[in-house]
Amino acid sequence: MRDFFIIHYSYDSVFFTNFAYHYFHIIIYKRLASMATKQHQRLIDRIKTGEHMTLKQQLSLTVALSTPAILAQLSSIIMQYIDASMVGSLGAHDSAAIGLVSSSAWLFGGLLSAAAMGFTVQVAHHIGANGASNARSVLRQSLVTCLIFSITLAAIGAAISTPLPHWLGGSQEVNDKASTYFLILSIFLPFLEIEFLAGGMLRSSGNMKVPGMLNILMCVLDVVFNFFLIFPTRDVVIAGHIIHIPGFGLGVTGAALGTVMAEVITGLLMLYFLLARSRDLHLFGAKGSFKPTTPCLRRAYKISLPIALQHVMMCGAYIATTAIVAPLGSVALAANIFAITAESLCYMPGHGIGEAATTLVGQSAGAERKDLMKRFATITVLMGVAMMTIFGILMYACAHLMMGFMSPVQEIVDLGTKCLRIEAWAEPLYATAIVSYGVMVGAGDTVMPCIINLGSMWIVRITLAIILAASMGLIGVWIAMCIELCVRGTLFLIRLASGKWIKKTSIINT
């Protein structure tokens, strides 16, 4: 009982520290974003009007768009750390339950993201071509199409939630909890799609501020909801005072409910800012049809299909990796998911820069400015490599501390630390792959990046993981991952240097 109290005292303290961090993060973020918004909007307008942009202006715009996305991504990772630490305090079985179905949840989320991407890239190109009315037309059609698609996925997810953990080879101790966790996430997929679509549309118009702030808010809400839903009612001592804190004690179920509640609130707020407040995409008071048209759907299909196939095959590979790790035991499974969460601290800044790259290259493509497409590609990739290299060094040095924060089980901490130090070597080339992918999606080039990602994952990672796991366990799986990411980054670098990703015409004219 004493150990239980100590654990919850620790995580209650973490909660209050994290809540204060996010509160001041939002205040600082808002001030910085307000200062930069007008300036970078003027620079974005230069892309549309064909005005000359100096290298300094290009760098300034890249930093202005990347910073909100990076801050939001980092805040999201801190939220995931808190989530992982909260669930990790309950024991290895609860952690393993979430880890077992995480790859499947990523699969569904990836499909939703791909569906939204088919429309957001079109909007970026229309805005770059000064076609705001056409952009709003695409937005209307996307709302209907993505809603239907997300409801369909929600029904499929709910239907397979019970047998899924058994298909993945989970043990009886974790299967029931894993099933409930996946069911709850599946039911609320339409709200996740709203968040993806609305956030993507705002970013495509050059508004990185609102999605960034709302993503930080989602992190705060998720931590607050989890704080009360995961743990039971308890007394804690803070600053010498005993405080009675209510709780529902729902464990893994509480973690799922906390996540979806945060997604619902954030998604609806994101939709409001898109439809009512966006300069280029507001629909309130604007007339137009919501009926999907064949040309728009065809363009969305051309963009989304390769991305969706990639997500299916990539997440299939993640699921296959989970199936390789699951027989190694609950400790290995928990260490694997915690190490993946810890590593995301390194690569999420790359995703933030990749989002900015998609916007910058997409609008440059719509304006048919190939010079800017190339320059923004170079700037964003170099920025991503620099940041992820620094973060990789920090991860190597702080690996034990990062794992210790998420789990009190020493076996999990030791095994996860070894995995993180292996992965740190891959971060520079992983950055190349992440940001280059964002560049190419912005240009409308999705087929070859899909082939590179799938070939690298299935031929290199899965094959090596199967071979090395037999003799080296989880360490072998992470060695395979490190080698594969280096191969993938090299292939993307070759593709980027070739210039073949630059389309002859904008996607809106095809």
Distance separating alpha carbons of residues 109 and 101, to the nearest angstrom: 12
Determine contact, residues 400/409, Cβ cutoff 8 Å: no
Tell me, what's the pLDDT at 196? Answer: 92
Distance separating alpha carbons of residues 389 and 391, to the nearest angstrom: 5
Tell me, what's the pLDDT at 53? Answer: 76
Determine contact, residues 103/181, Cβ cutoff 8 Å: no
Distance separating alpha carbons of residues 193 and 263, to the nearest angstrom: 10
DSSP state of 355: H
Task: Report CA torsion sign: 363, 289, 208, 218.
Answer: negative
Q: Secondary structure of 430-468 in the HEC alphabet? A: HHHHHHHHHHHHHCCCCHHHHHHHHHHHHHHHHHHHHHH
Distance separating alpha carbons of residues 113 and 43, to the nearest angstrom: 28
Tell me, what's the pLDDT at 237? Answer: 74
Radius of gyration of the chain (CA): 22
Determine contact, residues 361/442, Cβ cutoff 8 Å: yes
What the block records as the tokens of 85 is: 């630490």
Q: In this structure, how many other beta carbons lie within 10 angstroms of the beta carbon of residue 432?
A: 24
Burial of 504 (0-12, 13-18, 19+ CB in 10 A): exposed
Distances 301 to 128, 294, 355, 467, 501 between C-alpha atoms, Å: 21, 10, 20, 37, 18
Burial 172-193 (b: 16+ CB within 10 A, else e): eebbebbbbbbbbbbbbbbbbb
313-350 tens-digit pLDDT: 777 787 788 788 888 887 888 888 888 878 877 888 88
Distances 152 to 165, 234, 307 between C-alpha atoms, Å: 21, 41, 18
Tell me, what's the pLDDT at 76? Answer: 63
Tell me, what's the pLDDT at 66? Answer: 77
Burial 436-445 (b: 16+ CB within 10 A, else e): bbbbbbbbbb
107-121 tens-digit pLDDT: 888 889 889 989 998
Work out the end-to-end distance of the chain between its first and last CA atoms, rounded to an integer number of angstroms.
66
Distance separating alpha carbons of residues 87 and 129, to the nearest angstrom: 48
Tell me, what's the pLDDT at 80? Answer: 60
Distance separating alpha carbons of residues 334 and 474, to the nearest angstrom: 11
Q: What ranges do the domains of the chain cover?
A: 2-509
Burial 412-427 (b: 16+ CB within 10 A, else e): bbebbbbbbebbbebb
Determine contact, residues 305/230, Cβ cutoff 8 Å: no
Beta strands in 30-76 (DSSP E): none
Task: Report CA torsion sign: 37, 38, 40, 41.
Answer: positive
Distance separating alpha carbons of residues 406 and 402, to the nearest angstrom: 7
Element (H, E) at 177: helix 172-187
pTM of the model: 0.74
Distance separating alpha carbons of residues 451 and 494, to the nearest angstrom: 14
Determine contact, residues 75/240, Cβ cutoff 8 Å: no
Distance separating alpha carbons of residues 338 and 316, to the nearest angstrom: 20
Q: Among residues 429, 430, 434, 398, which one has the least CA distance to residue 416?
A: 398
3-state helix, strand, coil in the chain (%, to 5): 85, 5, 15
Average pLDDT for runs of 10 along the chain of length 510? 33 47 47 52 67 77 76 66 67 78 83 91 86 91 96 96 88 88 95 93 86 84 87 77 84 90 94 91 85 93 85 77 83 84 81 86 84 90 93 92 82 91 93 93 87 91 92 93 95 92 63
Q: Among residues 57, 357, 78, 377, which one has the least CA distance to residue 208?
A: 357
**What are the residues whose beta carbons fall under 8 Å from the beta carbon of 106, sequence distance 6 or more?**
315, 318
What the block records as the tokens of 488 is: 């993938």
Element (H, E) at 235: strand 232-238
Distance separating alpha carbons of residues 315 and 108, to the nearest angstrom: 9
Q: Among residues 320, 215, 332, which one has the least CA distance to residue 267?
A: 215
What the block records as the tokens of 453 is: 């990602």
Q: Alpha helices, DSSP H only, in 129-169?
A: 132-160, 164-167
- Does residue 243 sit in helix, strand or coil? strand
Largest CA distance in the chain: 68
